[in-house]
Structure 1
């Protein structure tokens, strides 16, 4: 990859782990560029979808920027790219370049994460800007197998990413901790990226504000099904766990 005068970074994580909050906050920083999921192969991009991953990185993402830019990065989800063979090498390229700092988005309560994802798919609404009116959705019914497969997949991917990028400098950003202290978490992210620390504010708001027991129709049934398992803690509700 090309040498750049700014700090390059990549944000890795699953959906519904605080990406839009982090992205919109970093976007407001005068010295940071944060691209939005360039390897999402079902979204329109500013470059053709048959552009090789190395070219995307060197000629479309980590390109020359004005001298005041101190950090440039983007997000990639665990499963991206899904279909595009031209981009499959992006993980190998990122792993080989240890000069890229990693931010790993994680969410402790994977039931809340799944609920948020299911609701987003139901409405095709993945973010809500502050001040937007958000209609209340009817409670959703989740299948036990669906929950189990989701928990296992995310936990497996977290472990794989941590191992795959073990030689990179990395920072975990945990959704619940960020929700509990947004300004403090954003200050830590800026410090980690080596940019000047300024007040930055996300423009998003939570879409789901109810307790899990209110938003999941068969919550009690699921709680009984997972009692005694390592996932039982997902049913110990707290205000920081809910939302999107």
Structure 2
């Protein structure tokens, strides 16, 4: 195993452009970026057991296998809470047969209360470790328009297409969104953002906005490379933007929602 260089966490919520940014960073010769080390739908049984035994050792072992100057991974807000992850399984979107199949090991393991408690303790302990370990660099990726994030998440679940690599963009069918669902999602994402900003306030942390990355990627990527003390290099991603339709085309009741959110803090999402 190698001694680890700079340790990087790409922190975000769902559908914020994290795959795109991870791809860009990974194209730098001095960077190695894992995907989501704590995404239960991507983990095999052995990895789940390792995490329950000692999440910190699980990550250290992964990072030490790479020799680049910067080694990191993606971390979503819910990943380090066994309770929130388990609650998520009851969401209607997780009834997709492929997702259900990929979660079979996890569902079997957490049905054992002792394993669930062990996993929960290990994840909580690792979150405490991250809070206190100032050697981690944090790039906190946020998306200003939470409606776009919610819409992208629902369409990804419905179509089971999470990234687009070269193929023609998918034409999505219009869906209905309730005000309750939207408000709950907007508030939850803001709460997560504030929580993690506070948790990592003493770390080397850089905030990046998806909209800025999309509009002026060169400027933002240069800022990230400077933050990580890395030499400039042209960065490329094989991923392409998935959404080509307007929100008014994608949301059946868009006009009703726009009226409902008029003169509220969320009005800006429905312009």
TM-score by length of 1: 0.89
Residues in 1 aligned to 2:197 and 2:43: alpha-carbon distance in whole angstroms: 29
Task: Tell me the equivalent position of 1:239.
Answer: none
Residues in 1 aligned to 2:47 and 2:205: alpha-carbon distance in whole angstroms: 30
Picking from 143, 146, 151, the partner of 1:107 is 143
Stretch moving more, 160-169 or 180-189:
180-189
Residues in 1 aligned to 2:219 and 2:212: alpha-carbon distance in whole angstroms: 9
Q: Deviations over 1:174-198 (max 9, x none)?
A: 0101010122222221111111110
Picking from 53, 72, 90, the partner of 2:55 is 53
| 2:223 corresponds to 1:188 | yes
Residues in 1 aligned to 2:183 and 2:198: alpha-carbon distance in whole angstroms: 23
Contact 1:38–1:45 (CA under 8 A) maintained in structure 2: no
Q: Deviations over 1:59-114 (max 9, x none)?
A: 12x20533xx2111111100114244343432111111011111101010111111
TM-score by length of 2: 0.81
- How big is the shift at 1:5? 5.1
Picking from 216, 222, 226, the partner of 2:261 is 226
Task: Tell me the equivalent position of 1:65.
Answer: 66
Picking from 139, 155, 158, the partner of 1:122 is 158
| 2:90 corresponds to 1:91 | no
Residues in 2 aligned to 1:99 and 1:93: alpha-carbon distance in whole angstroms: 11
State the secondary structure of the residue aligned to 2:40.
coil
Q: Deviations over 1:24-73 (max 9, x none)?
A: 1112111101010001122125952111211112112x20533xx21111
Residues in 2 aligned to 1:64 and 1:112: alpha-carbon distance in whole angstroms: 36
Please, which runs of 5 or more residues in structure 1 have no aligned partner? Answer: 237-244
Larger helix share, 1 or 2: 2
Task: Tell me the equivalent position of 1:209.
Answer: 244
> What number of residue pairs does the alignment pair up?
231
Contact 1:142–1:218 (CA under 8 A) maintained in structure 2: yes
Please, which runs of 5 or more residues in structure 2 have no aligned partner? Answer: 87-118
Task: Tell me the equivalent position of 2:189.
Answer: 154
Residues in 1 aligned to 2:79 and 2:4: alpha-carbon distance in whole angstroms: 27
State the secondary structure of the residue aligned to 1:210.
coil
Residues in 1 aligned to 2:66 and 2:262: alpha-carbon distance in whole angstroms: 52
Q: Deviations over 1:145-198 (max 9, x none)?
A: 100000000010111001111111110110101010122222221111111110
Contact 2:4–2:64 (CA under 8 A) maintained in structure 1: no
Residues in 2 aligned to 1:94 and 1:217: alpha-carbon distance in whole angstroms: 42
Residues in 1 aligned to 2:222 and 2:241: alpha-carbon distance in whole angstroms: 21
